[in-house]
Amino acid sequence: MSLFIPNLITPTSRNQIKKSMSDRSTKSPESLSTSPKLANPLISSSRTLSNSDTSSSSSTPTAENTNKKSSFNLFDSILQRSVTKPLTINTSTHHDITQQKKFPTPSLSSSISNTQLPEQARCLHSYNAIKEDEICVHKGEYVQIVAANQDNRWFVHRDANRTSPAAEGWIPGFVLGLKNPNSTIHHNLSPSPPPPPTSSSSQQQPTSSLSANSLHRLTTTTSTTHHPTITYESTLPPKPQTSTCDKRLSGVLRYCGPELNISVHERNIFLGQSLILQGHVIGNPRPAIVWQHPHGHTLVDDDTTIHTHYGDDGTIYLQIRCVSMQDAGIYECIATSPQGTISQQIPVQVKDSNDHHKLEQVRWSPRYRPNEYREVNEIARGRHSIVRQCIHISTGDVCAVKLISKKLISHERALHEYALVSSIRHDSIIRVFHFIETNSFSIIISELISGGRLFDYLCLQSIIIEHNIAKYMRQLLDGLNYLHNCKIVHLDIQPENLLINIEYDQIKLCDFGDSIRLSNMKYIHRMSGNIEFAAPELINGNIPVHYKTDIWSFGVILYTLLSGLSPFLDETDEQTCANIINIDYNFPESQFPYAFQSAKELIQTIFVREPSNRPSASECLMNEWFHHAGQYQISTTNLNNFIERRKILSEKS
């Protein structure tokens, strides 16, 4: 038996709400009574945001079967399995490893003939794949054009490079500077890379019309009338401004890769002294920082021997107290963001105070390699990644190994996820240990969570006690409060990303693939996939995210745990988005009795349109519901239906 991890929106919960009431008993004061309702029965309930199948990128490390053993090498068999299969969790001791989903090929009926297309084009923008049939490309890279369709999507071949294997797939036309297949921009298309531009070349003049400012709106549509159409604002960086004032005002969308400045002269310290490394980093979005020890492990602030600092002004700082001989070698500081990665190495020598002879420097090699792990069983599978339970052969340590396909997710994006999580430590947040890179995969080694997903664990019981829900929600808020104090926003809080360690009765927040470290420069997040738990600013598409974007998602989680229903879900994606934007929800009396009055008031303070008007995580923790939640028993019937509904529709997607 195989349980699919749900990831797309499906319409039943809102109907349950409507059927359970004769009229709305409560409605948010911000709800707009004139909001349009689309009720076309011919519109398909398939939850997609584009003309290609979309499934969740959430790949969460869980362990539901620890008895299965596998003697074959984990990484020798990776390429035999497709990473584009819908995400599943195996609950049996056997699973089919031969099923593969073939890469989609361009349809001849909807594509422009190859004879009408140029042979090669240069990418004007970097692009990270957000759909199953897309590939990642980098700015300045040349791709071979195979076909194009009427939605201005281009099927291209990308040659192998030093970080990624060769790949074929779709990319949007704006990446190539193309507005539609029938009106190509010839200066960007050529059978071979053009020579460097000169100021006197008249052929380069059209380039000025290709600035991201001209691409002010991208519209994502589906290929048939059976799918809803949702319009999103572009999150591309605008054309650079000329004046300092304009640059300051346009800071919302001015993205740039990280720049790192650390003095790289050799450090010589004596045994027992403190090692101090400091520098400065800039970039938008705010880069994540990783300090690597010469022995290969990541240095994390432990309040004893290691102290790290990352200031609002970009100042970074590492201190190791009371160094030993083992602390000598080459340290590395890595700054990474979705816009790129940069690193610097700093040689350090440790001398004995009684012996001033120079110690030999040894360049470290990674302590953990792919062939040092043995697979126990596969935990989960998604369109971007695979998660497997593994054992380190030398130490016997059990861990979760997340393999992220380089064809779909860039190395920089995967490294950014690792860098963010490795820099923090909290009981409610999953821990990561190592990052490994192969020709085909970026690999994150993390702790293995014994209980699986929180929602699945709760549904093993026939009832849930209100007090237990309050306990788990308090743990989640503790984790969010810690994240936000670290200036990190998660941006993908949903049931699939909440795990539970049953040994300690402790939840764990995982999957930081969409997370970002906020800075003074505002950041607009390009949302893809699941909209059921998304805040209005994410649905809108042109409003910067906020720490309290996570609080909205927390409110949806709380509502669902108390009732088993989804507050904003409707018949179509368009209706669901309209409900979220208009704050259109209710509290059915059968699911929200008077005993939940304090919880209802907390939810009402969260479900407001303006992020700054929502309570912070620390303010939510002070709500009286967390102190007075009682022994009220809640049936898990609706919650089971909630999980089954997401699972079934994920199988159909």
Question: Beta partners for 142?
Answer: 122
- Contact yes or no for 43/226 (Cβ under 8 A): yes
Q: Give the span between the Cα atoms of 433 and 402, in whole angstroms.
A: 12
Q: Give the span between the Cα atoms of 148 and 145, in whole angstroms.
A: 8
- Contact yes or no for 382/86 (Cβ under 8 A): yes
CB hemisphere CA count around 70 (13 angstroms): 23
Q: Give the span between the Cα atoms of 549 and 536, in whole angstroms.
A: 8
Which positions ≥6 away from 391 have C-beta within 8 Å? 373, 374, 376, 397, 398, 399
Which positions ≥6 away from 394 have C-beta within 8 Å? 372
Starting at the edge strand that comes first in sequence, how are the strands of the sheet with 306-310 ordered?
256-262, 275-284, 315-320, 306-310
Nearest to 82 by CA among 104, 97, 61, 70: 97
Task: Tell me the chain's radius of gyration from C-alpha atoms.
Answer: 26
Catalytic residue among 133, 151, 492, 584: 492
> Phi, psi (5° rounding) for residue 640?
-60, -45
In Å, how far are 321, 422, 457, 520, 623 from 309, measured between CA atoms? 14, 14, 38, 17, 32
Prior bond of 285 cis (ω within 30°): yes
Is 355 in the active site? no
Nearest to 323 by CA among 296, 298, 352, 301: 352
Q: Give the span between the Cα atoms of 418 and 331, in whole angstroms.
A: 18
SS3 content of the chain, % helix, strand, coil (to 5): 25, 25, 50
Nearest to 448 by CA among 392, 493, 486: 392
132 SS3 class: coil
- Contact yes or no for 128/411 (Cβ under 8 A): no
Sort residue 71 into left (φ over 0), alpha (ψ -120 to 50) or beta. Answer: alpha
Nearest to 510 by CA among 556, 566, 459, 444: 444
Q: Give the span between the Cα atoms of 593 and 346, in whole angstroms.
A: 61
DSSP 235: -
Q: Give the span between the Cα atoms of 491 and 512, in whole angstroms.
A: 8
Enzyme catalytic residues: 492
